[in-house]
Amino acid sequence: MAQKQPTKKKFDFALLLSYLVITLVIIIILYPLLWTIGASFNPGNSLISTRMIPDNPTLEHYQALFANEGSLQYINWFKNSVKVSIATMLLSTVFVTFTAYAFSRFRFTGRKNGLMLFMLLQMIPQFSALIAIFVLGQMLGLINNHMFLVFIYVGGQIPMNTYLMKGYFDTIPLSLDESAKIDGASPTRILMNILVPLAKPMLSVVAINCFTGPLGDFALSSVVLRNVESYTLPLGLYQLVTNPMTASYTKFAAGSILISVPVVIVFLLFQDNFVSGLTAGGTKG
């Protein structure tokens, strides 16, 4: 009994350390969020006197955003961001699914080189090609074009998400494909009727990643979008704090909080598919 006591003390210490680490991580995550929420309800335009719980909370900053006062076009920027994010999510998910299926199930010339190229591409950040993207947009006359921005996002999303999706397809037994081929199913039908339903968890992850990426991007959108009417939310909100004389940091905080609304909605929409996909993946033979 005396020999087991140190083991118990060591376990208790490890458990306590785990709780401390988890608590610290939660504080690090929640504190900036709670502080920003408090700032969005704080009267005035400065953050110097902002408290996490304002003494006199107000909704004037949210009302000003939706009133579209002066050059503020928050509703239009919000629509542009949601449109670009949804288009990027749909196109990226489709392209990633077919690309990952090809790399996972087929053996063709250049397959290894293609995977190596994808690995190299995901190591290179998109903003390193900002000048090339701007010149290409000018040559094609696509500056201030949302679809041009969408295709740039889609191209950047494909390499990393293809690796994620391919890894999940590799875990699905090939015997399912072979059984379907015996029944006369085409490769496309095998993908859509067998692999995609089993890959719903990873499809949900890819879709959410592809949606949230463009929603908070500033660098690429600032190169492609030049007119105020075509701005997305990050560009539009940046205008609120660029001029020191008219900067409204509390209004900026209110607009930042509202960016999370589409993310929450998309997560709730994919939640059922995520759970049902986990169930299907767990029962596959």
**CA–CA distance, 139 with 252 (Å, rounded to integer):** 34
**By C-alpha distance, which of 51, 44, 30 is closest to 252?**
44
Count of Cβ atoms closer than 10 Å to residue 142 Cβ: 17
Q: For helices 146-170 and 130-140, what crossing angle results, to 10°?
A: 130
Q: Is the pTM of this model over 0.95?
A: no
**CATH architecture assigned to 64-283:** Orthogonal Bundle (1.10)
Token output for 57: 């909370």
Place of tokens 């000048």: 131
* pLDDT tens for each residue of 30-62: 888 888 888 888 877 766 655 667 777 788 888
* pLDDT tens for each residue of 239-255: 888 876 667 788 888 88
Kindly state the average pLDDT of the residues 63-72: 72
- Domain residue spans of the chain: 5-62, 64-283
User: 224 or 279: which carries more pLDDT confidence?
Assistant: 224
Confidence class for position 277, pLDDT limits 50, 70, 90: very low
* pLDDT tens for each residue of 175-215: 888 888 888 888 889 898 889 888 888 888 889 889 988 88
- Residue 201's pLDDT is what? 84
Is the Cβ–Cβ distance between 189 and 176 less than 8 Å? no
Burial of 95 per CB tally in 10 Å (0-12, 13-18, 19+): middle
Confidence class for position 227, pLDDT limits 50, 70, 90: confident
Kindly state the average pLDDT of the residues 10-29: 83
